Amino acid sequence: MARKNAQDGQGPSVSAEEALEFHAMGRPGKLEIVPTKPMATQRDLSLAYSPGVAVPVKAIAEDPSRAFDYTTRGNMVAVISNGTAILGLGNLGALASKPVMEGKSVLFKRFADVDSIDLEVDTEDADEFINCVKFLGPSFGGINLEDIKAPECFIIEQRLRELMDIPVFHDDQHGTAIIAAAGLINALAITGRDMKTTRLVCNGAGAAGIACIELVKSMGFAPENVTLCDTKGVVYQSRTEGMNQWKSAHAVKTEARTLAEAMDGADVVFGLSARGAFTNAMIQSMAKNPIIFAMANPDPEITPEEVAEIRTDAIMATGRSDYPNQVNNVLGFPYIFRGALDVRATTINDAMKVAAAQALAELARKDVPDDVAAAYQGNRPKFGPQYIIPVPFDPRLISAIPIAVAKAAMETGVARKPILDLDRYAQELSARRDPIASTLQRIYDRVRRQPKRIVFAEGEEEQVMRAAVAYVNQRLGTAILLGRDDIIKENARHAGIDLDKPGLEIINARLSRKNAIYADFLYERMQRKGFLFRDCQRLINNDRNHFAACMVALGDADGIVTGVTRNYSTALDDVRRVIDAKPGHRVIGVSIVLARGRTVLVADTAVHDMPNADQIADIAEEAANFARRMGYEPRVAMLAYSTFGHPQGERSERVQEAVRILDKRRVDFEYDGEMAADVALNPRVMAQYPFCRLTGPANVLIMPAFHSASISTKMLQELGGSTVIGPLLVGLNKPVQIVPLNAKDSDIVNMAAIAAYSAGA
Ligand SMILES: NC(=O)C1=CN([C@@H]2O[C@H](COP(=O)(O)OP(=O)(O)OC[C@H]3O[C@@H](n4cnc5c(N)ncnc54)[C@H](OP(=O)(O)O)[C@@H]3O)[C@@H](O)[C@H]2O)C=CC1
Ligand SMILES: CC(=O)C(=O)O
Ligand SMILES: [Mg+2]
């Protein structure tokens, strides 16, 4: 859906304040370097460093290709800029470009598991820049040049391609051209146009503009049908002002002198220039069913809303993620380098670029399967004007694009290490996907379609206010901050948080008109549990968890997030006075653990201290259901310290009994046990038990007791570098999430989104 463009150049889903806070939180910036080998003992040191390191040194000196076996080179790309054309913001210098370059590095990792480091080179002189980069070749498997302005970028890339034996790829040129070409192929098909007769205008004759028109001409556009414009207007033959050899190569014979004149009657317009460059009149003057790619970042040449006001027949794309049809090079560079690195390509040639464009265009035409639909905000997209290109979160990209690129590299003889088994390669590629990010993305997208009212019970806390603001800014629904009005406002002012926005409410429990109703409700539930009316009234007036839980129980809000100031079990006790388990369900805690690119759910991490066999079986059922709701097909391992009866012990017997109970219940998911954690998670160890009923490594781990659940997840988080989300409360009749004490704002907003998600349709 089209969204309103924000005044300040930020997208509507994030404020300037949030963007700064995001970059500053924790360790400043977006990257860190993590060793891949242990460095714990004298032996490790001897192997990793002197004397052991001398052995790979000599091996590489003898045969340079061994560097791919013994160093990071084969999976490492440098993102290099001098900051002369940062997005569409212009020449702001090398240092200012660093957030963008770090961002590109992170996207390499996130989308294609390519390790990447940003390098900002502080010179505008092309020779100096080339001289600096050319010596860096041995460190990297590829060089991604970024945000270097034209025309220097053409000289720089050309020279470095000649000088280096690894792929050198200026993303703003070729990445953009590839994605724009993919979108264009599909837009032409939808509007029934033939490339040979289609008239295209490209506004912006820089890195991106020139590369785009070169690619569309190589695909079949007639040169006389392609008009290039820049700040001086049309690039026509014999023009002298503001020209260079790259523009001259595309100068056309025409009477048109201005962009407005060029766009009159045009079929397609590419905007690779700057914010607001297209006027309503220009768009109005285009041909029927115009194709408008306004790709300037962060703000397009014209917004989809503006176009929608004047034309209903346009196919519209922008470079932004908050509109349909995001034509952005993020769809290309991670996957193109993935494919190139995997065959150790010496270069990224035209065949590889065209293969990537075609693979992208084809992907958008394919039916979207169930497990992918979630990446599309739950609206299963259908090939058409609102969907000409996949979204960056489409999980099929990681297998579809690198394969196409790798194949093209092999066919054109630039692959130093051809891939023999492409099916296996496809599986390896899918395994590189970071599953948790997709899970959270799916949750956020679903909530965005069905926004919910969430009570942030500890509304006076700074990180809770920030989370509430983020919740609203991300269009997840209404955020209610519980607390004293004056204190919330004072704390917000002090912390520089702007709470004045639609969708953010403050409720002071003590002054609420609902107090009497909530106190009656609580008294009704607690009168036979030793509570006087006065006690209930006090809890409603003074305790925000009780008040918040009543709001949700009585339909005044959809979910709660709490826990920042109170320990978990106390917060849970507060809430349980008001909210019961779902009929027929057991309340449990499930933690989502992301470790080394795989996701496992661990239960019960919050509620049952020492469950009996029946309770363990219930926990397994709840956790398996939860796994399905999160989009995983559960393979449940019932964990113990023993495996299938050895060694014997009372604690393992309870787990064995739980397995027998599940057998009797004839549950519809895979489970087995009792087994130790390594059997559950490591296929080689599991293979020693050929009768084990799990068809693969477990993705749901049922712990024999709370202490083992809690200890293992916390150890994974602290020592194993795993990301742990939760424990999430599962099985309550209303959505409640309790965050750990002192949780960060990002954790709180994730939990709020999960509460909203559980609130369902
Ligand atoms: N969606 C995406 O994936 C991508 C989008 N882009 C966007 O494309 C734009 C250009 O980037 P890039 O090519 O790297 O930058 P360059 O600096 O290399 O080129 C900029 C070009 O735009 C022209 N230009 C600037 N402002 C205007 C204007 N108001 N009207 C007409 N022409 C104008 C300049 O004209 P002149 O030559 O006269 O100075 C120049 O030709 C940026 O906004 C960037 O964000 C870039 C890469 C990827
Ligand atoms: C997306 C991108 O690379 C740019 O706007 O420069
Ligand atoms: Mg760029």
Pick the CATH number of 588-731 from 3.40.50.360, 3.40.50.720, 3.40.50.300, 3.40.50.10750: 3.40.50.10750
Are residues 683 and 707 in contact, defined by beta-carbon separation less than 8 angstroms? no
Q: What is the pLDDT of residue 4?
A: 38
Comparing CA positions, the residue from 588, 577, 595, 641 lying closest to residue 616 is 588
Give residue 103 CA to ligand 1 midpoint distance, Å: 20
Taking only the tens place, the pLDDT of each residue in 64-108 is: 999 999 999 999 999 999 999 999 999 999 999 999 999 999 999
Q: What is the CATH number of domain 54-166?
A: 3.40.50.10380
Q: What is the pLDDT of residue 2?
A: 36
Distance (Å, whole) CA 642 – CA 652: 7
Are residues 730 and 438 in contact, defined by beta-carbon separation less than 8 angstroms? no
Model confidence band, residue 439 (pLDDT cutoffs 50, 70, 90): confident
Taking only the tens place, the pLDDT of each residue in 295-322 is: 999 999 999 999 999 999 999 999 998 8
Residue 83 labelled as part of a binding site: no
| 4 is an active site residue | no
Q: Is 675 exposed, middle or buried (0-12, 13-18, 19+ CB in 10 A)?
A: buried
> Count of residues for the chain?
761
Model confidence band, residue 274 (pLDDT cutoffs 50, 70, 90): very high
Comparing CA positions, the residue from 243, 245, 248, 173 lying closest to residue 212 is 173
Probe target for ligand 2 pocket from 92, 97, 100, 321, with the most ligand atoms within 8 Å of CB: 100
Give residue 398 CA to ligand 2 midpoint distance, Å: 20
Q: What is the pLDDT of residue 761?
A: 59
Find out whether the beta carbon of 328 lies less than 6 Å from any atom of ligand 2.
yes
Give residue 87 CA to ligand 2 midpoint distance, Å: 5
When mean pLDDT is compared over 32-36, 38-42, 410-414, the highest value belongs to: 410-414
Residue 88 labelled as part of a binding site: yes
Percentage of residues in the chain having pLDDT higher than 90: 80
DSSP 8-class letter at 4 = P
Q: How many CB atoms lie within 10 A of CB 663?
A: 11
Q: Is the pLDDT of residue 17 over 70?
A: yes
With a CB cutoff of 8 Å and minimum separation 6, the contacts of 249 are: none
Distance (Å, whole) CA 371 – CA 378: 10
Q: How many CB atoms lie within 10 A of CB 24?
A: 10
Q: Is the pLDDT of residue 438 over 70?
A: no
Q: Is the pLDDT of residue 434 over 70?
A: no
φ and ψ of 482, to 5 deg: -90, 130
Residue 103 labelled as part of a binding site: no
Distance (Å, whole) CA 321 – CA 302: 15
- The amino acid present at 692, given as its one-letter code, is C
Q: How many CB atoms lie within 10 A of CB 431?
A: 13
What residue owns the CA closest to ligand 1's atom 23?
204
Residue 20 labelled as part of a binding site: no
Pick the CATH number of 442-576 from 3.40.50.300, 3.20.20.140, 3.40.50.10950, 3.30.499.10: 3.40.50.10950
Whether 54-166 and 588-731 share one fold: the answer is yes
* Alpha-carbon radius of gyration of the chain: 29
- The amino acid present at 329, given as its one-letter code, is N
Q: Is the pLDDT of residue 6 over 50?
A: no
Atom of ligand 1 nearest to the CA of 147: 14
With a CB cutoff of 8 Å and minimum separation 6, the contacts of 616 are: 638, 654, 655, 658, 702, 704
Q: What is the pLDDT of residue 649?
A: 84
Could you tell me the residue ranges of all domains in the chain? 54-166, 442-576, 588-731
Longest C-alpha distance within the chain, in Å?
93
Taking only the tens place, the pLDDT of each residue in 467-509 is: 999 999 888 999 999 999 999 999 999 988 889 989 999 999 8
What residue owns the CA closest to ligand 1's atom 38?
231
Find out whether the beta carbon of 643 lies less than 6 Å from any atom of ligand 2.
no
What residue owns the CA closest to ligand 1's atom 3?
328
Find out whether the beta carbon of 369 lies less than 6 Å from any atom of ligand 1.
no
Mean pLDDT of 17-24: 89
The rounded mean pLDDT for the chain is 92
Give residue 145 CA to ligand 3 midpoint distance, Å: 9
